Structures are given as structure tokens and as C-alpha cells.
Amino acid sequence: MARYVFITGGVVSSLGKGLASAALGALLQARGFSVRLRKLDPYLNVDPGTMSPFEHGEVFVTDDGAETDLDLGHYERFTGVAARRTDSISSGRIYQTVLEKERRGDYLGKTIQVIPHVTNEIKDFLAIGEDEVDFQLCEIGGTVGDIEGLPFFEAIRQFAQDRPPRQCIFVHLTLLPYLAASGELKTKPTQHSVRELRAIGIAPDVLVCRSEQPIPEREREKIALFCNVRKEAVIAAYDLKSIYEAPLAYHREGLDQAVLDAFGIHPAPRPNLAKWHAVMDALENPEGEVRVAVVGKYTQLEDAYKSIAEALTHGGIANRVRVRAEWVNSEIFEREDPAPHLEGFDAILVPGGFGERGTEGMIAAARFAREHKVPYLGICLGMQLAVIEGSRNVARLPDAGSEEFDHEAGARRFTPVVYHLKEWVQGNRVVERRPDDAKGGTMRLGAYTALLQPGSLVADVYGATEIEERHRHRYEVDTAYREKLEGVGLCFSGMSPDGRLPEIVEWKDHPWFIGVQFHPELKSKPFDPHPLFAGFIRAAVESARLV
């Protein structure tokens, strides 16, 4: 039966609970334990799938088609354990499940209350797969004291109470603010946060304290005394040059040892951190640098493209170069010539997105990359817009566009080379969708197989002719135009097994121009960079050498 680590946060949000959880998972793995990480989010959305990227950052998609919080991306990148639908839950989904049971009569007419019905549902979720791994790490979203998080805190309190001693521990992440005027680190916010946690029945076993300054021994002793934890369990969390330094930094501070001590695991297996030292060596000792323009519509918030930013870094690790990704708002190119903005870059990436806003600027970026032989990677919408660009400017279809934009286009009507997908095969069943369906969870989601054309660039990049990648989209490139487009050099080099859905396109007369319908960034890891990003950055290195 798994041991449980519950990670909570206090004082302020965005302290890095997700990163701390992921790093702890990596450290436990380094000591030979198996782990699974989960996220419990207090918001009332059923999942993040319908939330704006400006509101919540990117949506991370699992192999089994769940739309989840971006922290699950951190979990995968640090542990290599593929996330599942059962690794993410929100208040919205918990309440939805409880209300569905009530409507069916499952509660036999009882009055439905937060305790025990909502908390029992959360506890049932926590128990899923508890015999599969040595440790379950469960991060509670939000901050202690938030009213919407109270059912989750009560549920984990009950869950720990129901289990044998030393099967559940609590790690609490807090802030130690530094007051420059007095030259002091202040421990009072941490004391108040722990008091708030203890007031609801949870006593932390380990404190992780975010600080911009070293924590003096006197302050550690004070925190340990007033928060009732061992001094060795007061762990400093400093700002890092790279998030991939986190496992090594937390190990130096003793986080993994403090957690094992709290469980009474003695002697603790020695950790093997060789792969994390190798990652940091590649990051700290690059042999060059490349500049990559990410031309998108959500560039004001980098978290909207979090997995892409990290996958570019992984591509740099694979090639031992520093990748300087620069975020370019595509709407600029709807008013200005893209050339002055893009000429200094070694590669161009156009990511996914929804809606017409900014798409003409992305099309202009794809055209610049094609005409100037700049390495190009188009992801999801970035592939579709590359096809539209080629249709307009090479295949002589000047009105080429997407059904997605027709309702926003006013008087203009597009020739739809990209259409709304109404039916597709998932496993052994046919999935059907209509444009007016509810938005949540209705896209083509999760892992699908693609067959690659032997001898194509993408087959060479993967070193394979059959792959499996994760999808999140409603629209597809129309194969009705395949013959016309291939006649002008746009090769459909990856297709679904039934030959109906284009998965990958590439320009034959271009050194490196690939568009993919799926999201390869979701499967990239620092110690196992995705082949497409490794190849993309390799092409950027070659492009830089030619300048």
C-alpha cells in the first residue's frame, strides 16, 4: 500500500508547489522508489479545458484524453511517469459526481452535505491506484485559508486519520519575506500559515520555506520551535537559474531525507542523481546559442505555452546549446512586415491556439519561414496555418482558410482547407461531434497513432514509421486538397492509420519545415528530449552556422 505525501501551500500563491512536488517525486525515484503525482484543484470548473490560457496557463493533456492543470506537465517532465485522468481532480468534478449520484438516488434520500459526501468522494479519488506505487504525492491547489479549498483540507485530514501511523505525512510550502529596510527574514507569515493549517487539524511534518536570502540558523530554530517541526525538517527553497536544478537543490537542503525520516524509513537508500547532474551540465556548459521566435497569440503569458518553452530547453540540452526563446505576438504581423522582426532568428515555431485572432500574423510567419528557408515547427493550429499559407501562396487557392474562422470573418467566406472534425475513430469505436456541442471535453483528445511516410524528414527525425502522440483540437486539414498540395511540394508525411486524417506535413524543398497536428511538447523531458524538438533545435544550429 502506498505512502502518501500531501503538499499544501500558505501565505501567498505561486510559491512553486508543483515544482516542489515534481522535484520530490524525482528524488524519491532516485532512491529507487516508484511514485505517482496528483493534483487536487479547488476551482469549480470541471477541468481547465474551457479556461482561457490567460486565466490559467496551458492545458496539459494526458494519453487517456484528460484536460488537466499544467502542474501535471511538471510531474511528467521530472519523473517520466505518464499522467492519467485519475491524477487530476477539481471541486467542479467532485461536486458534479456527487450531484449526479444524488439525482440517480444513490444516497437513498439522505441530505447531501460537504461532510461526509463531498469529502468521501475526495477520499475515494485519493485511494485510486494506491497499490500500484510506493509513494503517492498529492498537491492541493490554492492556499490554506481559501474558502473553496476547505473540503480538500478536511478530506486529507480524514484520509490521514483513517490510515495507520506514518502512512501519510504533510509537507507545507510557505514564504519567508525579506525586509530590506531592517535586513531581516520574517518568520511570522510562516507561523501564521502553520497555525491556520493546525486549526483545521493538519500538523505539517516538513516545512519548505521559499526565500530570496539564506535562512540563518537562528531563524530555522525559531521556525522549528513555533511550528512544532524538527529543525532538520525546515527546508530552504531558493530561487534557481533553472527549474531543472530543483532536484539537486532540494537534495542539498535535505528534503528527500526529511520526508523519509517522517515516514520512519531507515536506513534510506542512497540516491542516484547522475541524470540530473548530466542535465545541469548541459544547461550550464552550452557550446553555442540559438534564437527561436515563438509566434503566437497568447505570448503575454508564458505559462500559456509552458510545455513548449520547456521542450525547447530540452531540445537545447540534446544539442548542448542554449535556446533563447523569444515570444512574438502574431497580431503585429497583421499590421507590419514580419521580415524586420524575424530576420535575426535561427528558427520559427508557431504553436496552437483557438479562434481567428492573430492567425493572419501566424500565416505571415509561416510564409517567411518557407520563403527564407528558416527552420519551422508548426504545432496544431501552427500546422493548419502552414497548410493555409501554402494553399494561398503556392497552390493558388487565394481564399483558403478554416471553418473555424468563417463565423468570425464577416462578409468574407473562406475556401475551407481546414474543416470541423465531425467523426473519427478512437480505439475500436467511432466518436461523433457537432459544431454546436458543449465545448468541454469534446475535442479529439489524448494519444493517437500516426503512420509516417518512409524516407520522409519526419520519419528520419523519429527513426520510426509508426508513432503515438497526444492531440487536442476540433479541426482537421481536409484531404480533399491533398493531391493539389502535394503537387506543389507540400508532403503529407504522416497520416492516421485509416488514411483519413493528416497528422504531419512538410515542405520537400525546405531544409527543415514540419507541421504536426498533435502536441509533441507534452511528452518531452529534460533527460529524454522529444525527437521533434531535438531535431528542430539541431536545424536551428545549422541555420545559425550558415549565417
What residues are annotated to the active site? Answer: 380, 519, 521
In eight-state DSSP terms, residue 70 is T
Grid cell, residue 525, equals 523531458
Grid cell, residue 294, equals 515563438
* DSSP one-letter string for 452-509: EPTTSHHHHHHTSSEEEEEEEESEEE-GGGHHHHHHTTEEEEEE-TTS-SEEEEEETT
Rg (Cα) of the chain, in Å, rounded? 25
Contact 342, 285 (CB under 8 A): no
- List Cβ neighbours of 165 (8 Å cut-off, separation of 6 or more): none
For 156, counting Cβ atoms within 10 Å of its Cβ (0-12 exposed, 13-18 middle, 19+ buried), the class is buried
Say how far apart CA 537 and CA 320 lie, in whole Å: 10
How many other C-beta atoms are found inside a 10 Å radius of the C-beta of residue 14? 10
In eight-state DSSP terms, residue 172 is E
Residue among 159, 144, 146, 140 nearest 17 (CA): 140
Residue among 89, 97, 98, 105 nearest 149 (CA): 89
Q: How far is CA 369 from the centre of its chain?
A: 27
Residue among 535, 513, 531, 515 nearest 523 (CA): 531
Say how far apart CA 44 and CA 93 lie, in whole Å: 8
By DSSP bridging, strand 178-179 and strand 168-175 are unpaired
Grid cell, residue 309, equals 518553452
Say how far apart CA 426 and CA 273 lie, in whole Å: 39
What's the helix, strand, coil split of the chain in %, to 5? 40, 25, 35
Residue 339's SS3 state is: helix
Say how far apart CA 479 and CA 502 lie, in whole Å: 7
Q: How far is CA 524 from the centre of its chain?
A: 10
Contact 260, 135 (CB under 8 A): no
In eight-state DSSP terms, residue 86 is G
388 vs 360, 367, 488, CA distance in Å?
10, 10, 13
Say how far apart CA 141 and CA 289 lie, in whole Å: 36
Grid cell, residue 456, equals 520522409
* DSSP one-letter string for 506-528: EETTSSSEEEESS-GGGG-BTTB
